[in-house]
């Protein structure tokens, strides 16, 4: 790959990160929680905090192996995602399931299994690692869509929407980097083809969008068992 392509890829990744970091700086302020959360909202916040940790930990691990900037850049972005959800956990007085856990350690057994699966996949080659990154973002999109449907809390919805926008951008970045680095065209692993193409085209709302119900996304509900 020539230097101009590498530089163009780096600029794309950096622009995505700058936009996301600015959007995540302001989690809606509240002196205290104004209404109690239901069981789905509580479970959703705790699960999404660990899922964002999974993304961070996978990308940080792959950066150590491959030294490719996209993994370090998006790992930094995922740390900002975790911080945004942690603000909500603290606001509502909820336990942090990730507290004290190191890289690759999760309270949720399904996320623990997914982490092991993705690490094993991504260690095979750079191509496989970039596809594992894409898979994480697809799963994140599906889960955030589902969690958005379970809450009417304005602050939670705002954070989830911003995280969803970030996952759209990350998915585009992984697809672009796969093409530049290997010549391969990324194929969706969890999203249906039409939804994936809409995301890649950037035509599904602001910064990649947050509109649409989870029924419009392939893969179905997670409540009857994980989709991976």
Greater pLDDT, 158 or 19: 158
- Residue 27 clears pLDDT 80, i.e. is over it: no
> Is the CB of residue 198 less than 8 Å from the CB of residue 211?
no
Identify the pLDDT of residue 13: 53
At 3 the pLDDT is: 54
Q: What is the pLDDT of residue 217?
A: 30
Give 218 or 192, the one with higher predicted confidence. Answer: 192
Backbone torsion region of residue 222, taken as left when φ is above 0, otherwise alpha when ψ lies between -120 and 50, otherwise beta: alpha
Reference 95, options 37, 34, 164, 30; nearest CA is 37
Q: What is the pTM of this model?
A: 0.79
Q: Helix or strand or coil: residue 153?
A: coil
- d(CA 114, CA 118) in angstroms, rounded, equals 6
Distances (CA, A) of 169 to 27, 80, 102, 180, 196: 19, 14, 27, 16, 12
**Distance of alpha carbon 199 from its chain centroid, rounded?**
14
* pLDDT band, very low/low/confident/very high, at 7 (cuts 50, 70, 90): very low
Place of tokens 């690692």: 129
Tell me the CA distances in angstroms from 179 to 4, 38, 81, 160, 215, one per residue in order. Answer: 14, 43, 26, 29, 30
What pLDDT sits at residue 9?
53
As a whole number of angstroms, the distance between CA 65 and CA 78 comes to 18
For residue range 79-88, what is the model confidence (pLDDT) as tens digits?
Answer: 999 999 999 9
1.20.1260.10, 3.40.50.1110, 2.40.10.10, 1.10.490.10: which CATH number matches 3-18+37-95+103-216? 1.20.1260.10
Domain ranges of the chain: 3-18+37-95+103-216
């Amino acid at each position: 790959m020539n230097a101009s392509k590498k530089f163009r890829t780096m600029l794309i990744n950096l622009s995505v990160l700058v936009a996301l970091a600015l959007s995540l700086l302001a989690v809606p302020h509240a002196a205290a929680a104004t209404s109690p959360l239901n069981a789905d909202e509580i479970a959703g916040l705790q699960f999404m905090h660990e899922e964002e940790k999974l993304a961070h930990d996978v990308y940080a691990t792959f950066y150590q192996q491959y030294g490719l900037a996209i993994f370090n850049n998006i790992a930094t972005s995922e740390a900002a995602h975790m911080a945004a959800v942690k603000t909500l956990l603290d606001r509502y007085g909820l336990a942090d399931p990730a507290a004290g856990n190191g890289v690759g350690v999760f309270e949720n057994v399904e996320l623990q299994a997914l982490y092991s699966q993705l690490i094993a996949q991504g260690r095979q080659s750079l191509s496989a690692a970039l596809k594992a990154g894409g898979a994480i973002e697809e799963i994140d999109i599906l889960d955030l869509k589902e969690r958005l449907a379970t809450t009417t809390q304005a602050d939670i919805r705002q954070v989830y929407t911003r995280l969803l926008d970030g996952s759209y951008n990350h998915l585009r970045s992984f697809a672009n980097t796969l093409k530049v680095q290997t010549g391969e065209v990324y194929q969706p692993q969890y999203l249906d083809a039409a939804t994936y193409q809409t995301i890649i085209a950037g035509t599904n709302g602001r910064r990649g969008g947050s509109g649409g119900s989870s029924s419009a996304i392939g893969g179905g509900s997670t409540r009857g068992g994980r989709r991976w």
